[in-house]
Amino acid sequence: MTFNRRRFLGTSVAAAGVLAAPMVKAAGHAKAHVVVVGGGAGGATAARYIAKDSKGEVAVTLIEPTRTYYTCFFSNLYIGGFKNIDDIGHSYGTLAAGGVNVVHDWAVGVDRAAKTVSLAGGGSMSYDKLILSPGIDFVEGAVEGWDISAQNAMPHAYKAGSQSELLKAQLMAMPQGGTFAMVAPPNPYRCPPGPYERVSMVAHYLKANNPTAKIIVADPKPKFSKMALFQEGWADNYDGMIDWVGSDFGGDVVSVDPGAMTVSIDGEVTKVDVCNVIPAMKAGRIAELAGVTEGNWAPVNAADMSTKADPDVYVLGDASQQGDMPKSGFSANSQAKVCANAVRGALTGSKVFPARFSNTCWSLIDTNNGVKVGATYEATDEKIAKVDGFISATGESAEVRKATYEESEGWYSGITADMFG
């Protein structure tokens, strides 16, 4: 399947619908008011679609602290040298021009009884419907010896932008024959930026610039997504450079010392030059502050992404506990369209279509060597359930792999236009 903007924008929701409840309005607002927290693939898409499709009937405010959003998807390609940092940076100007009130601030609290969101800059904002798309934060103590204060010495680079730039700078500064280590995350984790695509991109850079360097991956899992494809690609392109240590060999018994720049795997301590620590993940902090999480994630209803805790609060993307969909930008964008349609219907009485979801995750192994995995999904009473899926095959021709990579480039253009206008 080839993606372009027209095809991508047409993959949202389909077929006949029902009428929703009549319009309601937040106190002090002439129109119904939707507040969206988080301006990534979920939040920006939801804000744009509600503002566009409601044709002025609904006021939409997007709260996002950064003025330039760097996509996690394709951030690994920046590390590997295939992209510049500006290639993955996007502003909110077109979104604002399309009718979304963009507020660059941190949301620091939610009062669900009063239906208000408090801001770090002071004051609060009332809402009729609240959409949270805050991405991920990290589970404290997930990797022994590491916490967020160590992110400059041992970056995670799982929130794209300055962390991506830091990890790339450290990679470029490695001594000849040095060692790059990654502590991979347990399931479930945000992907992209996938850990194993990142290993491939680091290896691609080192092969060209530091060919005697080594990569060690300590992984708490016995296997991972697209494992056969990556291992085939590593053997073909980076033979002898990558040492992957799964849980069967002690990859789940790991500690780090950022001061000494050492990694301990099952008791064996190794001095490293760069260490990319990707800890266990949880929903972004605002979801917890809103009181809509259970454990690390926010359970939602599959039909509209509303939370189990509150029908007027919705959670999209990485932060949600929704069923079978992976925590990807494609997933968040797909969920956002379903949510936007449901929210607009609830506030204006417009038609609400049955929920349909899709996802594809592409990874680059080497130049023009792209692979993918994906699926379609439907809403059930219990969860978002997988209907069918596909995955690249091992042994594919160079022509197929190149076409897969080019497809990912088309998708990137499509999704960023869909998010930001």
Residue 31, pLDDT above cutoff 70: yes
Q: How far apart are CA 251 and CA 197, in angstroms?
A: 18
Are the beta carbons of 175 and 273 closer than 8 angstroms? Answer: yes
What percent of the chain is predicted at pLDDT more than 70?
93
**In this structure, which amino acid lies at residue 134?**
P
pLDDT of 25? 55
Over residues 339-366, mean pLDDT: 97
- CATH number for the region 141-277 comes to 3.50.50.60
Residue 10: predicted pLDDT = 41
In whole numbers, what is the pLDDT of the chain averaged over residues? 94
Give the residue, 336 or 12, on which the prediction is more confident.
336
The pTM assigned to this predicted structure is 0.93
Q: Between 212 and 7, where is the model more confident?
A: 212
Residue 106 has pLDDT above 90, yes or no: yes
Q: Is the dihedral of CA 122, 128, 133, 138 positive or negative?
A: positive
Q: Are 415 and 4 in contact (CB under 8 A)?
A: no
On the question of pLDDT at 23 being above 60, the answer is no
- 5-65+105-137+281-420: CATH number: 3.50.50.60
- Neighbouring CB atoms inside 10 A of 315's CB total 35
Average pLDDT over residues 215-227: 98
pLDDT value at position 27? Answer: 53
Q: Provide mean pLDDT across the span 32-61.
A: 97
pLDDT of residue 51: 97
Whether the domain at 5-65+105-137+281-420 and the domain at 141-277 fall into the same CATH topology: yes
Residue-level pLDDT at 30: 80
Q: Token match 């004051």: residue?
A: 123
> For residue 6, what pLDDT is reported?
35
Q: Where are the domains of the chain?
A: 5-65+105-137+281-420, 141-277
* 76-98: average pLDDT: 98
pLDDT > 90: what percent of the chain? 93
**Across residues 182-211, what is the average pLDDT?**
98
Q: For residue 19, name the pLDDT band (cuts at 50, 70, 90).
A: very low
